[in-house]
Chain A
Amino acid sequence: MFLEQFLNGLTLGSTYALIALGYTMVYGIIQLINFAHGEIYMFGAFAGLLLVTVAGVNLFVALIGAMLFCMLLGMLVERIAYRPLRGKSTRLSALISAIGVSIFLSTLMALLRGTNTTRYPDIIHRHTYTIGSIEISSLQIIILVVAALLMIGLELLIQRTRIGKAMRACSQDLEASALMGINVNRVISATFAIGSSLAAAGGVMVGIYYNAVWPYMGTMAGLKAFAAAVLGGIGSIPGAMIGGLTLGVMEIMGVAYLSSSYKDAIAFAILILVLIIRPQGIMGKKQVKKV
């Protein structure tokens, strides 16, 4: 029983991790909490839904399609709502702009699709496998594998490619990177693109897993994934992965062993505790302020 819950936690946590990665990468590079990120995730879920129902494609094509769509959406948002503010205004203004985008996007979807929940059609043949005493569904396996592949892919991208190196440089020192000849605008766009596509993947998988999508699913998931990013250490990519998985497990365990009605509060309680006890998160380094 415990292991099963643990697995459920890991599954949920993987989706949190995918969303959290987008938050952490954007924060790491431009110190913005991208409040609209949850809405990107939601759009990903809907994009996948659309592809599956209207275009009749299978899961993986829908996944890729949603990821591409959100890649563009994320870049568009950055271009319109964040870039004009960069370097010119306070962090708070950028934050509010992000909130404005979040409101805009969620309302847009609500207008397009109504506020009710839509079901994902059953496109995965659900098997339940039994390993020892644990039951695991094929869906869970798919989610875990896809998430793992994406995260590994991200790590490879960050560590082994030129754009990845540029991203790392920019997250250390944006100005210096610019002075070194790095096209900072392009790197930031790429960061948003990658983060958004991962969120989209998370959205599609959550949609299938819980069999539900609705226009405001991004708000809560966004806040929680954000908590996960902070838990792992905001700005740290491995941190976001660890934070997401940890949060997912803790939430499922909390529901299973404590109480289900306080489910949402668990993420935030963890967030507050982490920030008070160890603000830099699991993987973060303690910042010494230079006076």
Chain B
Amino acid sequence: MDAILTQYIDAYYLRIIILIGINIILALGLNIITGVTGQLSMGHAGFMSIGAYTAAILTMKFGLPFWMALLAGASLAAFFGFLIGIPTLRLEGDYLAMVTIGFAEIIRVFFLNFEPGGKAVGLYGMPQHTTFTIVWVLVIIVILLNAKLLESRTGRAFYAIRENEIAAQASGINTTRFKVLAFTVGSFLGGLGGGLYAHYMSYIAPQDFAFMKSIEILNMVVLGGMGSIPGTILGTIILTIAPEMLRIVADYRLLFYGALLVILMIFRPNGLLGDIRIYDIRKRWFNRGVN
């Protein structure tokens, strides 16, 4: 499929499209945690790195098939997401954000010292298993599952926690359990994205998963409109393409990015699509919707 595509599309654009796909998976994962459930997670890159390194080591050093390595990486990331979720019992808001930052930093330092991971040099030579097809099939599956989840009882519980945690508890929601669940699911997707990333770039190093990366993913979720699947997708597309387009200004790229964030927050603090959910789009387009 990729071979066919490269005949029609320039390799450069193909690369961007694949990266958009990977980023959508990462961002949708973070969306569940932060956008939907309202738990500010600023260490998503940590989950990504766990998925990336695990999958890469499994394929390169243990010869595991790609899909198995991906699954293992995502599952391990989910396990750590589960661990991170536990402090949510006692913490919330800014405090929780701090824990997530601390966690991601510790992971990064760990990989800097991790022998099998190549320490600071990183891992290279991963076979490029990630193709356009694989990425976008996964993207579609992830979007569909996300939509299903968010319209269900579980999804409503997530949103309720974000909106008013006390009222959510009064409605019978075990908020800690659901927050941990959100972290687990979100980090699974983070690890999945990481594994795909590793086998596309064929090279990963700890600095690829630094604080900045977490912020980039967070911005994709926030820009589009928190909690909204179409919003997250839109935000991801824009923020994946923008740095590429800003290559013209090369060195000044980050300058614009920083200023862009400030300006966006001042003028559209709720993101571009606000709180529109797939439910709303369906309702508007087809003039129906739930009941």
Contacts and interface: CB of A to CB of B under 8 A. Distances in A.
Q: Do A and B come from one complex?
A: yes
Instruction: State which size class the interface on B falls in.
Output: 35 or more
Interface residues of A, number: 45
B112 A272 contact: no
B254 interface: yes
A284 to B, nearest CB: 11
Interface in B208-257: 211-212, 215, 218-219, 222, 226, 251-252, 254-255, 257
B113 interface: yes
Nearest to A271: B102
Contacts of B278: none
Interface string B249-290: 001101101111110011001100000000000000000000
B222 A101 contact: no
Nearest to A31: B94
Contacts of B151: none
Contact of B262 (A89, A97, A223, A262): A97
A127 interface: no
A91 interface: yes
A104 B98 CA distance: 22
B175 to A, nearest CB: 13
Contacts of A1: none
Contact of A265 (B105, B222, B251): B105
B98 A96 contact: no
Contact of A103 (B34, B87, B91, B258): B258
B105 A96 contact: no
Nearest to B104: A268
Contacts of A265: 105-106, 109-110
B106 A99 contact: no
Nearest to B90: A279
Interface stretch (A56-64, A78-86, A203-211): A78-86
A97 B219 contact: no
B143 interface: no
A261 B95 CA distance: 26
A102 B226 CA distance: 22
Given A99-B261, A103-B261, A269-B102, A92 B222 contact: yes
Contacts of A262: 109, 113
A55 to B, nearest CB: 27
A275 B97 CA distance: 11
B101 interface: yes
Contacts of B270: 89-90, 93
A33 B252 CA distance: 26
Contacts of A96: 218-219, 222, 261, 265
Closest 6 CB pairs of A and B: A100-B261, A104-B258, A103-B258, A89-B269, A268-B102, A93-B269
